[in-house]
Each structure stands twice: as structure tokens, then as C-alpha cells.
């Protein structure tokens, strides 16, 4: 009984958390469509995909494999096609931080 109550409380806390379901979602502008890497700025840890700026602050899941931010800059190339972009808004400015993508 205690296990069931603990599980219920945990589910409630995780789903009721303000940022849980809104911050880490697929980017609605790029879900399930092909997008292009426009530019890569390694010195700023920034990448432009279909005219939107994304920052690399931590590991990114590329094709299901977690890659460190520095490695992502070596894997992605200008002109490359991507899909299923996942990003998270961070900071007071609400900058987009790239969390995942699939290379086509």
C-alpha cells in the first residue's frame, strides 16, 4: 500500500511541476519535417537551424545517442538535413537550447 501511495504522489508531483511538460518539448515549428542546418558558430556554441538560433549547453541526443555539446558541433554540418528537433527554453531571455535531433 505504501509503495502505491508513493508512486501516486511521485506521478502527481512530476506532472504538476510547472516546467515539467512545457520546457522540454519538441519544437512545434520543426516536428516531423525536414529542416536544414543554416550555420554553425563553434566559438559561441550556437547553431542556426531554419533561421532559428539554438545554443548547446550540454549533451544532445542525436539519432538516439547522447553526444556532448562539443561533439555535436563536430557531427553536424552546414546544409545537413535534420528532423524531430527537441529544444528547451532557458534563462530570462528564453533562449532555445538544443536537446535532440535526428540526422536524415
CATH number at residue 59: 2.40.50
Question: How far is 82 from 58, CA to CA, in rounded Å?
Answer: 19
Is the residue at 15 inside a domain? no
Is the residue at 16 inside a domain? no
Question: How far is 53 from 61, CA to CA, in rounded Å?
Answer: 17
Question: How far is 82 from 31, CA to CA, in rounded Å?
Answer: 10
- pLDDT tens digits, residue range 24-45? 555 555 556 789 999 999 999 9
pTM of the model: 0.68
Q: How many structural domains is the chain composed of?
A: 1
- pLDDT tens digits, residue range 60-90? 999 999 999 889 988 999 999 999 999 999 8
In this structure, are residues 50 and 75 in contact, taking their beta carbons and an 8 Å threshold? no
H or E element that contains 44 = none
Q: Determine the structural domain holding residue 63 and report its residue range.
A: 25-103
Amino acid at each position: 500500500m505504501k509503495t502505491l501511495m508513493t508512486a501516486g504522489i511521485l506521478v502527481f508531483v512530476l506532472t504538476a511541476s510547472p516546467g515539467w511538460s512545457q520546457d522540454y518539448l519538441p519544437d512545434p515549428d520543426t516536428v516531423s519535417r525536414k529542416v536544414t542546418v543554416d550555420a554553425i558558430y563553434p566559438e559561441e556554441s550556437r547553431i542556426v537551424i531554419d533561421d532559428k538560433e539554438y545554443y548547446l549547453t550540454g549533451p544532445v541526443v542525436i539519432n538516439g545517442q547522447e553526444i556532448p555539446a562539443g561533439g555535436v558541433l563536430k557531427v553536424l554540418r552546414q546544409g545537413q538535413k535534420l528532423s524531430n528537433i527537441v529544444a528547451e527554453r532557458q534563462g530570462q531571455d528564453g533562449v532555445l537550447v538544443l536537446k535532440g535531433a535526428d540526422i536524415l
